[in-house]
Structure 1
Amino acid sequence: MNSNGLSTQILIALTNHLQDAVFAVEEGCFIFVNQRVTDLFGYSELDIIGQPILDFVFEEDQPLVAARYKARLMGEQVESEYSFRIVTKSGEVREVNMRVGLTQDDEHSTTLIGSLQDITDAVQTRAALEHSQADIESILNNMPDVFYRTDMNGVITLMSPSCHEVIGYTPEEMIGRPMVDFYCDASDRERIVQALTEGEGKAQLVEACLRHKDQSSVWISSNAYIRYDESGEVICIEGISRNDTDRKALEERLAKLAKYDGLTKLLNRRAFLEEAAHQIEIAHRYHRPLSMMMLDLDWFKTINDRYGHYIGDETLVYFSHACQAVLRKTDIVGRMGGEEFAVLFPETSGEFANDMVERLRSRLSNPIDVGSVTLKITFSAGLITLKSDDHSAEMMLKRADQLLYQAKENGRDQIVIES
């Protein structure tokens, strides 16, 4: 065996252990390939040796490879590493990355020695990621809800474009700023972070009021969560938020309808009893006085029967306005049903509460015009103060109602005070 044959065998043995496909080209044709080249192309070594390298290059990429090869032979400075596509024996198109260099022997024969690395999977993965990223960006750019991300210090790191529709700021105006800058109540952030921490990475529904760029208030609801890495370390907070201002306003209107009488706008019976129970608890706890009055408009049925329900309703509205005008802001007035009303006087003894009731009677002392009718409004009332064994609003109402009944029996237009 001559020295050239031995050198070739050694070269083959060495390069077959490499991960890359190694080859040598002279005058544009393969003169050497290792096992990795045959595995990559799908051809045998005999099928490859002596064949032009361009025969294995994808047609659209042949001009690039030919130009680079020619430039290198001419001694021009060209990149020693670049990518192109090849066609395998099965017709599959694969992407390869090639690194090349030139050598010359004593006879000035120029050989291009290079290696090929199959990067098809990496390219496809990158393309898929880029496509996925494009899809994500398209979704973020077109979704009506807002996707956001903050670090654990609350600094905004990502905000989708729809934030402009929700609170008037562009993403560029928000990214890099603390989220707390946009809360109506700065303490909301601590509350939300606490809820998300307790969620342990699961999405939690949280609400907050944000300040719009025009200084109006915007209610948002968010499905948010704390994102952790594989080791359990916190990465960030992410969430999807939507403008819930209309829903919040509807809830408030419904809550108001459930709490207030539709005609007089005073507390309804249920809401009054709830507030009374709360005030009773406070009065007992801090040993403070509390008074309650039940009252009934005199001869109201006669007004309805004689003048109709419209005049009757207007009379109730006028009386409720009189109560709100005369009584203190801390006093609590409720319509218990029909022409029956109740008043709570927190921090007030029976004597002082009676003074307040007399002021109301004084305001109603003169006849009033209700629509086209002139009326004289009077009322009968029972006034009590909290006792140590009063543990419910119903107990107090019952006693006050008994005194109210007594006032009616005594001829109406009067107050009976518990002795």
Structure 2
Amino acid sequence: MAKHLPPLLSGSQPPETAQTLLALLHAQGEVARLSERDQLYSSLLDSVNAVLWAFDWETRQVLYVSPAYERIFGRPASLVLADYNEWRDSIYPDDLDFAERSLAQVLLKGAVEDREYRILNASGQVRWLSDKCYINQQSEGERVIVVGIAEDITEKKQLEGELQRLATTDVLTQSSNRRHFFECARQAFDHAREDGTPLAFLLLDIDDFKRINDSYGHQEGDQVLQRIADSGKAVLRRGDQFGRIGGEEFAAIFPGCNAQAAELIAERLQREVQRLSFSHGEQTYSVTVSQGLTALTDQDTSLDDLFARADAAMYRAKRQGKNQIVHG
């Protein structure tokens, strides 16, 4: 093995020369290992779909952002490193106040782990971030550096939204399902009682719906339900709630609406339904609805009181000839 050693490592060289060379080779090995470690860190940072960042609180300067910044924000990292407002201006306008207030909380708490807000990337797409931050101040008097990790949770938020939609929406009509409607209606009732504001409640039932199913089939009946629901959603005001609570039965709650104003909405809905036209083969037909309408009184102690009156009024409308609105 000795004949393969370079001359400087042969026994004829002074011991200190060999030691120097060995030290040099060791140093070169350390440099290679450090380079491999840096490459590993760089590779890991590139693969993480989250922005690691550091921010100088006093100077309002972004000291560092990881490579994911350019992927998520769609902007060069050099811009945000030069001007913190590049990050601030990308925050969705409705979320800016929360994002800034929650960031400032880190000075009091030392860590803030419940920050979720939206940004608009360079392409105008809305992205959701979960942006956790921490104080990195080693001792009193040192400058305050805030470090954090901003994870892109857009897909998670979209999935949550879809699950929420499935849990609260009637699949056929895309209006509120029974459970969700009554949750919203009870909240509206409680608020009306607490605030002393008016509230109206409406029940609607499609007249002779069984005959439609028997004559034209359930697929045709489904189309009728869908178009009735579309009419209801089109007529109601912002803040009103409309839902399918039974087979051919729908309900609406009108916060801040007295009996007279609610009747105008119910009449408009009645006219919209009467304008609908359906066809099956060469046959055309129309549908009508019976509505029961009531308003909150001082004697009402729960939503059930309004529901019972509206239900009784709706069945009176049925008995009195259908296609009309009856007050309860």
Supply the distance in 1 between the matched residues of 2:144 and 2:17 (Cα, whole angstroms).
Answer: 44
Residues of 2 paired with 1:219 and 1:146: CA distance? 13
Residue 45 of structure 2, aligned match among 126, 140, 144: 140
Query: Structure 1 length as normaliser, TM-score?
Result: 0.65
Q: Structure 1 residue 359 and structure 2 residue 268: aligned? A: yes
State whether structure 2 residue 200 is matched by structure 1 residue 294: no
Report the alpha carbon displacement of residue 181 of structure 1 after superposing the two structures with TM: 2.5
Calculate the aligned-residue CA RMSD, in Å. 3.1
- Contact between 2:242 and 2:251, CA under 8 Å: does it hold in 1? yes
Superposed displacement of residue 318, structure 1: 1.3
Aligned to 2:244: 335
Structure 2: how far apart are the matches of 1:400 and 1:161? Answer: 60
1:160 to 62, 66, 75: 66
1:189 paired residue number: 99
How far, CA to CA, are the matches of 2:285 and 2:312 in structure 1? 27
Name which of structure 1's ranges 230-239 and 379-388 shifts more when overlaid on structure 2. Answer: 230-239
Is 2:80 the partner of 1:174?
yes
Name the residue aligned to 2:278. 369
In the other structure, the counterpart of 1:384 is 294
For 1:321, which of 230, 255, 270 is the aligned residue? 230
Distance 2:292 2:141 in 1: 66
CA distance in 1, matches of 2:208, 2:241: 24
Specify the SS of the correspondent of 2:82.
Answer: coil
Deviation digits for residues 87-139 of structure 1, max 9, x if unmatched? 8xxxxx557xxxxxxxxxxxxxxxxxxxxxxxx99x99999777655543343
Distance 1:359 1:137, change over 3 A: closer
Runs of 5+ unmatched residues, structure 1: 1-53, 60-84, 88-92, 96-119
Tell me, yes or no, if the aligned pair for 2:216 and 2:280 is still in contact at 8 Å.
no
State the 1:361 CA deviation. Answer: 2.0
**1:232-243 → structure 2 map (5 Å cutoff):** 235-243=144-152
* Letter of the 2:277 counterpart: I
Distance 1:295 1:128, change over 3 A: same
Show structure 2 runs of 5+ residues with no match: 1-12
Q: Give the match for residue 15 of structure 2.
A: 56
Alignment length, in residue pairs?
A: 309
For 1:228, what is the secondary structure of its paired residue? coil
Q: Is the alpha carbon distance of 1:175 and 1:358 closer, same or farther for their aligned partners in structure 2, counting shifts above 3 Å?
A: same
Q: Distance in 2 between matches of 1:346 and 1:311?
A: 33
Distance 1:367 1:133 in 2: 69
CA contact (8 A) 2:99 2:115 kept: no
Q: What letter corresponds to residue 226 of structure 1 in structure 2? A: I
Instruction: Give 1:207 deviation, angstroms.
Output: 1.8
CA–CA separation in structure 1 for the residues paired with 2:249 and 2:50: 49
Letter in 2 for 1:139: L
Deviation (angstroms), 1:294 = 0.9
Counterpart of 1:406 (choices 313, 316, 327) is 316
Structure 1 residues 151 and 395: alpha-carbon distance in aligned structure 2, compared to 1, 3 A threshold: farther
1:274-322 per-residue CA deviation (whole Å, 9 max, x = no partner) reads 2222322332333222111111111112211221111001001111222
CA distance in 2, matches of 1:94, 1:407: 100
Question: 8 Å contact 2:49–2:152 — kept in the other structure?
Answer: no
Distance 1:334-1:128 versus aligned 2 partners, 3 A rule: same
CA deviation map 1:153-172 (0-9, x unaligned): 55321111222221211221
Q: TM-score, normalised by structure 2?
A: 0.81
Structure with the largest fraction of strand: 1
CA offset at residue 247 of structure 1? 2.0
Q: Of 152, 161, 165, which aligns to 1:252?
A: 161
Q: Distance in 1 between matches of 2:305 and 2:237?
A: 24
Give percent identity, aligned residues only.
30
Residues 223, 193 of structure 1: alpha-carbon distance in 2 compared, 3 angstrom cutoff: closer
- What one-letter code is carried by the residue in structure 2 that aligns with 1:56? P
Matched residues in 2 for 1:396 and 1:58: separation?
100
- Please state whether the residue corresponding to 1:399 is helix, strand or coil: helix
Matches of 1:406 and 1:232, distance apart in 2: 78
Give CA deviations for 1:18-49 in whole Å, capped at 9, x if unaligned: xxxxxxxxxxxxxxxxxxxxxxxxxxxxxxxx
Against the structure 1 CA distance between its residues 200 and 267, is the aligned structure 2 distance closer, same or farther, given a 3 Å change threshold?
same
Report which structure shows greater RCO (CA 8 Å, sep ≥6): 2
The answer to whether the Cα contact below 8 Å between 1:168 and 1:214 also exists between their aligned partners in 2 is yes
For residues 304 and 108 of structure 2, the distance between their equivalents in structure 1, rounded to whole angstroms, comes to: 40
State the alpha-carbon separation in 2 of the partners of residues 232 and 138 from structure 1. Answer: 35
Query: Aligned-pair distance for 1:349?
Result: 1.8
The 8 Å contact of residues 226 and 234 in structure 1, kept in 2 or not, is answered as no
Question: 3-state SS of the aligned residue for 1:175?
Answer: helix
Match of 2:192 in 1: 283
